[in-house]
Amino acid sequence: MKQILEVAQKALDQTGQWLVKQNIEAFQVAAYDFAWRAAELYAANALCDFAQHQGELERELANFFIGEVIAGKKDETAARKTAHLIREKGDGGSFGLDEQHQMFRETFRKFAEEKVMSRAEKIHRQDLLIPQEIVDGARELGCFGLSLPQRYGGFQDDNRPDHTGIVVVTEELSRGSLGIAGSLITRPEILSKALLKGGTEEQKQKWLPFLATGEKMCAVAVTEPDYGSDVASIKVNATRKNGGWVINGVKTWCTFAGYADSLMVLARTDPDLSKRHKGLSLFIAEKPRFEGHEFKYKQPDQGGTVEGKAIATIGYRGMHSYEVAFENYFVPAENLIGGEAGLGQGFYLQMEGFAGARLQTAGRALGVMQAAFEAALKYSNERKVFGKPIFDYGMTQWKIARMAALIQATRQATYAACRLMDEGKGLMEASLVKFYASKISEWVTREAMQIHGGYGYAEEYPVSRYFVDARVFSIFEGAEEVLALKVIAPALLKRYL
């Protein structure tokens, strides 16, 4: 296996040595393919390292992945063997977790199966809000404090970060439902990381314990109608007034903005647009909680308003994503993250939060893929066509084997990126696994749906929900094209300078 990976790495290096001499903007397709191939190799190496110390199924999955994805060879004999091992075990291989993380997994899997799954379809079909019972249950299990140090009320050792735990929990919640559980802890982590990176000690002491317990729920307001991935060009502004700041402008795709008590708002505090990201600052704008698809709040003392309307989406329902308009909305000076020292630092602080969120997105994609794979495996063994289970057909076995291999490779690559983040590294790798997991989740969920045939297209089976939910991953938390061309390729190409 290692020899195949070495050959593939040499080919990637040759492309990199050529591409580093070019203008990426003039060769976007080549740069995108370079980033994608790097992501596949990263996943392959992580899976290969993992499989060396595991059982027969895990080793066969690694062989299948490297042969199929890296070498480009379709081996039906290997697919049949791998698929039958999957059928015998009844799953797609071990996770390779230590005792603590396995306990996290089992705890939140039980919660998802008992509290989330039974509600997921109704909320998806009727576009309802997450039930309070699920929010309370997640709070009682302590999931909101998983990314926070103990000194601020969280569960992480003050001196030993742990990114794997939150990814494991995110995966299990997303397996239950992306929309009503899998994304609950993403936004608190984004705000928490920004506060930990650049907040004043007073801000940390005030906000982090609230976020750790889930007492305060938050949303993120960064994207604007005309500026999504091009964050440095945003125009929502904040100006000084009466010992604080007033915010004006419109944000969009603010998930959970109605229910949230506070919004993490990235705003332009320097009107000089030429300063781009250096003119942005980060604020915590507080508001009351609202349910439903619309809200409006007028500040009683200052007279400013904030209002939002949910955007209709094909999937990822339960938290609602809003367009939010601010009109002279007052934020006290103490809610400028970092205080005066935080002026012009907003872009960097929010990017700190989004690095962890990208790992979570890989975890969310893993959860949706795992649910789709399990549904496909079960259905393929139960459904008979022409007198035998559809699992017994070679095409189905190839699909089942490929699903399991892709999921296992993604999982181990994500865990590897988590370990790097624990060491204060891995920002590029977090983007790499988000990029990879998001894109392959579409294939896995599509094929799970295809295995179900006509029933896969019916809302009667949740596999149709997995398919539309998976489509969002390549769009949010960094669109795949932007990650490939602006983050991953430039970072990798530095190695060839």
Report the catalytic residues: 477
| Closest to 258 (Cα-Cα) out of 190, 183, 308 | 308
For residue 301 the two structure tokens come to 């003392």
End-to-end CA distance of the chain: 29
Strands 262-268 and 280-286: antiparallel
Whether the CB-CB separation of 369 and 445 falls below 8 Å is answered with yes
d(CA 297, CA 304): 8
Q: Cβ of 311: how many Cβ atoms within 10 Å?
A: 14
d(CA 180, CA 255): 12
Backbone φ and ψ for 216, nearest 5 degrees, come out as -110, 130
d(CA 281, CA 343): 5
| Rounded (5°) CA angle 317-318-324 | 85
Q: Cβ of 493: how many Cβ atoms within 10 Å?
A: 20
d(CA 262, CA 250): 16
- Sequence letter at residue 353: G
